[in-house]
Amino acid sequence: MKPLRVGVIGCGRMGRERALAVIALGHQVAWLHDANLAFALELAAAVPGARVAARLHDDDWQTLDAVFLCTPPAFRTEFLHTFLRARVPFFVEKPIGVTAEGGGPIARELARRPLIHAVGYMNRCRASVQQARALLAGLHVLGVACHWAGRIYDVPWWLDAALSGGPVNEQATHVIDVCRFLLGDIDLVQAIPANARRSAPEATAAIALRFAAGQAGTLLYTCGMREKQKQIGVRVLTADGSVDLSGWEFAIASTLLKAPPAGDGATPIFTIETDRFLRAVGDNAHGAVACDYADALRTQLVVDAVRQSMASGRPAHIGDPLRDVSDATHA
């Protein structure tokens, strides 16, 4: 595959991850853009050949093979419409937005005029998660029990729900997406928040999940830990035994495995995911990405329903992502 030219919008932590992965994979970062010019200038010093685009113009899209969108969630939808008009393949970090609002028209436009794109639910790219999915396909699944315990992400916008969608939207979405990837769609949730008087809003919650295929699940989420190391676990219970995924690497363990546990080796997961997207672009292979926008929109609707349930104290149904999502969670 010939080297590709890419742009990066948003030069914080994930913009840096993507830009450095692009370079490591032998491609070129053509330009960097951030609303905070200092962030773009700092990243440019680490990315040979990349220019800083203080403002974006129509001509900036014409020279690209792909673009990575790494802004805070609140700013993603507007850029996505720009990519659709310019017909430039795009990779957008998860979650797709603060909520699913506005996502339906984007999904419908991508269905009407396909464009190679991907959404950054990177755990779908892990060999262990793929091995678990293949193993579960032949088993009678009873349910799933999950937890995600981490700390507050130390950037100013993260606890501002208007910019990030809140901690559940930023972090719990990872586990919800893995559950969907392993067990299929979720059609009902109920969430119970912990007492918020001593913590950030949505900092801790117990979440019940019902899958469309009939299974039940639970997720305990918190961002209240002090230590950096996350505690992550997904245990899928089947009629024949359990399949466990644990830690940041989602390492697999199960007595049901007939082959050695799969892992990603020394290659960082963001590099693996970036490579998968760029190969899809280079090969013009629409189906080669791990997660497309329509699939990510389904995960977003589940997250929105969880947040709705936390606020109302009542169960929340998940709607159809291709309908007007402004009222989909009230179906």
Q: What pTM value is reported for the model?
A: 0.94
DSSP assignment of 239-282 equals TTEEEEEETTTTEEE-TT-SSPPP--TTS-HHHHHHHHHHHHHH
pLDDT of residue 331: 36
Portion of the chain with pLDDT greater than 70, in percent? 95
Residue 200: is its pLDDT beyond 80? no
pLDDT of residue 228: 82
Q: Give the DSSP H or E segment for 114.
A: none
Query: Where along the chain do the CATH 3.40.50.720 domains lie?
Result: 5-122+270-291
pLDDT of residue 175: 99
Q: Choose which CATH entry (3.40.50.720, 3.30.70.20, 3.30.460.80, 2.60.120.10) describes domain 5-122+270-291.
A: 3.40.50.720
- Cα 5 to its chain centre, rounded Å, is 23
Residue 324: is its pLDDT beyond 70? no
Residue 207: is its pLDDT beyond 80? yes
pLDDT of residue 197: 59
The amino acid that residue 326 corresponds to is S
Pairwise CA distance, residues 85 & 191, whole Å: 38
pLDDT of residue 328: 41
Residue 27: is its pLDDT beyond 80? yes
Q: How many CB atoms lie within 10 A of CB 92?
A: 27
202-225 average pLDDT score: 96
How confident is the model over 300-320, as pLDDT tens digits? 999 999 999 999 999 999 987
Kindly list the distances between the CA atom of residue 144 and the CA atoms of 46, 184, 239, 241, in Å, as whole numbers in the listed order.
42, 12, 12, 12
Instruction: Identify the residue whose tokens are 């801790």.
Output: 204
31, two tokens: 């330009």
Q: Is the model more confident about 329 or about 162?
A: 162
What's the burial of 265, exposed, middle or buried (CB within 10 Å: 0-12/13-18/19+)?
Answer: exposed
- Phi first, then psi, for residue 252 (nearest 5°) are -95, 140
Query: Where along the chain do the CATH 3.30.360.10 domains lie?
Result: 123-265+298-330
Residue 165: is its pLDDT beyond 80? yes
Pairwise CA distance, residues 308 & 269, whole Å: 31
Portion of the chain with pLDDT greater than 90, in percent? 89
Architecture of domain 123-265+298-330: 2-Layer Sandwich (3.30)
* Mean pLDDT of all residues belonging to the chain: 94
What's the burial of 124, exposed, middle or buried (CB within 10 Å: 0-12/13-18/19+)?
Answer: buried
How long a stretch of residues is the chain?
331
pLDDT of residue 87: 97
* Cα dihedral 56, 61, 62, 67 in deg (nearest 10): 140
Residue 198: is its pLDDT beyond 60? no
Nearest alpha carbon to residue 73 among 51, 90, 97, 53: 97
- C-beta of residue 189 within 8 angstroms of C-beta of residue 307: no
Pairwise CA distance, residues 162 & 33, whole Å: 22
Pairwise CA distance, residues 253 & 245, whole Å: 7
Nearest alpha carbon to residue 7 among 78, 80, 89, 72: 89
Q: Is 149 strand, coil or helix?
A: strand
Q: Which are the contacts of 60, defined by CB distance < 8 A and separation ≥ 6? A: 7, 31, 53
- Cα 157 to its chain centre, rounded Å, is 18
Q: How confident is the model at residue 138 (pLDDT cuts 50, 70, 90)?
A: confident
How confident is the model over 57-99, as pLDDT tens digits? 888 898 999 999 999 999 999 999 999 999 999 999 999 999 9
Q: How confident is the model at residue 137 (pLDDT cuts 50, 70, 90)?
A: very high
Pairwise CA distance, residues 109 & 306, whole Å: 27
224-249 average pLDDT score: 95
How confident is the model over 266-293, as pLDDT tens digits? 999 999 999 999 999 999 998 999 999 9
Q: How confident is the model at residue 326 (pLDDT cuts 50, 70, 90)?
A: very low
69, two tokens: 């969108």
Instruction: Identify the residue whose tokens are 């507050």.
Output: 152
